[in-house]
């Protein structure tokens, strides 16, 4: 093998540049991974079976708007799992202090039951968790304003102008979709007040592809 020879002037220049390079130059430092929530890997969603928790939160009641911080401390004191604490923190950051009280898997889609202990009404909800860790709240915006003129719901709303959706939605079936997809169906009652009788039932389908990634939702019917 032939050795590569540098002229003396070039070699001197290289050595001089090396001597001037700061020992701690960030351009030569290894890239550090972004920080993640303890109990999650690479920023993965904390929502899983490992996030289940069921503990005492009475000491936190009436402490709004600091209930989320109190809940986190109560969970830490009760030695909740890192995933449970991370999931509760995420819910609190969205303005919905609560925790995962139950979990089940339906054909590759995670279904998390969420306890909202500080709400006056509707203390339980459901999040669908797809394979990428994205969550879908089945009680959020189930009948958006843009849908109210749709032929699927307009006749009912014209006949019941004061009726509105009242959470929580209940699971009401599932269907296989073409190419291996899955549709989960949830029903939400419509009433004129919280204690009033149901005036109708809204069915909404949440759809996932073959890899169980969430692809969208659609109103099936309102009757």
pLDDT average, residue stretch 102-106: 97
**pLDDT surpassing 90 at residue 158:** yes
pLDDT at res. 12:
40
pLDDT at res. 47:
97
Residue 111 half-sphere exposure, CB side, CA atoms within 13 Å?
17
pLDDT at res. 66:
66
**pLDDT surpassing 90 at residue 148:** no
Q: What percent of the chain has pLDDT over 70?
A: 79
pLDDT at res. 99:
96
CA 31 and chain centroid, separation: 29
The pLDDT tens digits for 174-188 are 999 999 999 999 999
User: If DSSP codes are grouped into helix, strand and coil, which group holds residue 158?
Assistant: helix
pLDDT band at 2 (very low <50, low <70, confident <90, very high): very low
The pLDDT tens digits for 63-79 are 666 677 889 899 999 99
Neighbouring CB atoms inside 10 A of 89's CB total 19
What is the spatial distance between Cα 198 and Cα 185, in angstroms, rounded to a whole number?
A: 19
Q: What percent of the chain has pLDDT over 90?
A: 63
What is the spatial distance between Cα 34 and Cα 42, in angstroms, rounded to a whole number?
A: 8
162-193 residues labelled b (16+ CB within 10 A) or e (exposed):
ebebbbbbeeeeeeeeeeebbbbbbbbbbbee
The pLDDT tens digits for 6-53 are 343 343 433 343 443 433 333 322 222 222 333 344 457 899 999 999
CB 112 within 8 A of CB 156: no
pLDDT average, residue stretch 84-102: 93
Q: Which of 58-72, 136-150, 201-215 has the lowest mean pLDDT?
A: 58-72
pLDDT at res. 120:
84
Domain ranges (residues) in the chain:
43-137, 138-223
pLDDT band at 154 (very low <50, low <70, confident <90, very high): very high
């Amino acid at each position: 093998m032939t050795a590569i020879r540098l002229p003396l002037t070039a070699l001197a220049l290289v050595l001089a540049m090396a001597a001037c390079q700061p020992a701690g130059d960030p351009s030569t430092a290894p890239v550090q991974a972004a920080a993640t929530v303890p109990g999650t890997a690479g920023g993965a969603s904390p929502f899983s079976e490992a996030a289940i928790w069921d503990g005492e939160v009475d000491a936190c009641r009436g402490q709004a708007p600091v209930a989320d911080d109190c809940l986190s401390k109560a969970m830490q004191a009760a030695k909740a799992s890192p995933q449970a604490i991370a999931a509760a923190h995420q819910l609190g950051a969205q303005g919905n202090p609560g925790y995962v009280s139950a979990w089940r898997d339906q054909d590759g889609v995670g279904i998390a039951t969420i306890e909202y202990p500080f709400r006056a009404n509707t203390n339980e909800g459901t999040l669908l968790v797809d394979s990428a860790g994205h969550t879908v709240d089945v009680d959020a915006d189930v009948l958006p304003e843009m849908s109210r003129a749709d032929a699927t719901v307009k006749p009912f709303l014209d006949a019941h102008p004061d009726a509105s959706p009242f959470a929580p939605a209940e699971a009401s079936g599932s269907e296989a979709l073409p190419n291996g997809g899955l549709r989960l169906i949830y029903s939400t009652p419509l009433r004129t007040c919280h204690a009033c009788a149901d005036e109708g039932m809204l069915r909404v389908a949440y759809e996932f592809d073959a890899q169980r990634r969430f692809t969208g939702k659609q109103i099936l019917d309102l009757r």
